[in-house]
Every structure is written in C-alpha cells, then in structure tokens.
Amino acid sequence: MGDWKLPLSAACMCGRVKMRITVVPIISMACHCTGCQKLTSGAYSLSLMISAAGFEVEGATEIGGLHRDESVHHFCAHCKNWLYTSGIAGGQFINFRPTMLDDASWFIPLIESYVSEKLPGVQTGAKHSFERFPDPSQYPALMAEFAKEGARPA
Ligand SMILES: [Zn+2]
Ligand SMILES: [Zn+2]
C-alpha cells in the first residue's frame, strides 16, 4: 500500500457543508449497533477515525442523535446528513463518515463492531469482527495494521 494522498475532500449531499482531512487517518471501522442503524437509517455506520487537529469544516452543522457530551453527532443544518462524531476521547478524535468523501470508492473498514446486533445477511468486508467493541488493549495492534495495510485512496 502506498502513502495517503492528502488532503481528502468531502461534502454533504446538498454541498452546504464541506470537510477536509489533512492528516493520515488512524483506523477505519463499521459499526452494526442498533444506535448506528437508527442514525444512518441503514444497516451499519462507517467511520474513519482521525485526529481532530487534522479535520476542517466549513458550513453550518447542527447537533443531532443523542445530544451527549461524548459522541457528539454532527449533521448538515440543511440536508441533515450525518457527517461526523466529535467529543471522542475528550475531543481528541473525530469519527468521520467516509460516505461523505468526494471519492469513497476505495473505502473498506478494517474492523467491525457490534456484530452481536448485525442484521442478517449484511457484510462489510471488514477483516476483524468484534461482538461489541475491541478491548482497549487491542487497539495499538489494530492501528498498526491499519497504518501498514489498511485500505486507502488509490
Ligand atoms: Zn454503532
Ligand atoms: Zn447538506
């Protein structure tokens, strides 16, 4: 796998919110939990975890979802797309929804969480599956694997 071609550009469906990723992402994930099913109106959510310092937003967003201090769900104020989640690890990280990328055609999650709540017949292509979330002790090895061979733009 080659180096990341940065920045990555993204926008919501209506184009009023534009986003840019200027740092190499940390890990890619799919989550099958029932909360993500409701947030996406789909079978699962996709996330690209990035450092909050390498994420830029232009345009009006509003808070939706559960309105919690941890895991703050940001939506476009106009088209209501679910764009990203902030507040992770005290605001250090953003879980960005990679389906907002101008080109998401390369995206494959490395891990998938909450397969205990997965809808029947759903497949994500993730290499590692977890009943709930990985144990915190498993993240360093997963992040190292993502850095080495995680899917990235061609
Ligand atoms: Zn979830
Ligand atoms: Zn929008």
Does residue 31 form part of some domain?
A: yes
Does residue 145 form part of some domain?
A: yes
Q: Which domain holds residue 139?
A: 8-149
pLDDT tens per residue, range 4-13: 999 999 999 9
Does residue 29 form part of some domain?
A: yes
Does residue 154 form part of some domain?
A: no
Does residue 3 form part of some domain?
A: no
Centre of ligand 2 from the C-alpha of residue 25, in Å = 23
- Give the ligand with the smallest distance to the CA of 30: 1
Does residue 2 form part of some domain?
A: no
Binned at pLDDT 50, 70 and 90, residue 120 comes out as: very high
Question: Is residue 146 a contact partner of residue 109, using CB atoms and an 8 Å limit?
Answer: no
Q: How many domains, the chain?
A: 1
- Give the ligand with the smallest distance to the CA of 79: 2
What does pTM read for this prediction? 0.94
Does residue 142 form part of some domain?
A: yes
**What pLDDT does residue 70 have?**
85
Considering the chain, what percentage of its residues have pLDDT values greater than 90?
A: 93
Q: Please report, for the domain that includes residue 117, its CATH number.
A: 3.90.1590.10
Centre of ligand 2 from the C-alpha of residue 57, in Å = 12
**What pLDDT does residue 46 have?**
98
pLDDT tens per residue, range 38-74: 999 999 999 999 999 999 999 999 999 988 888 999 9
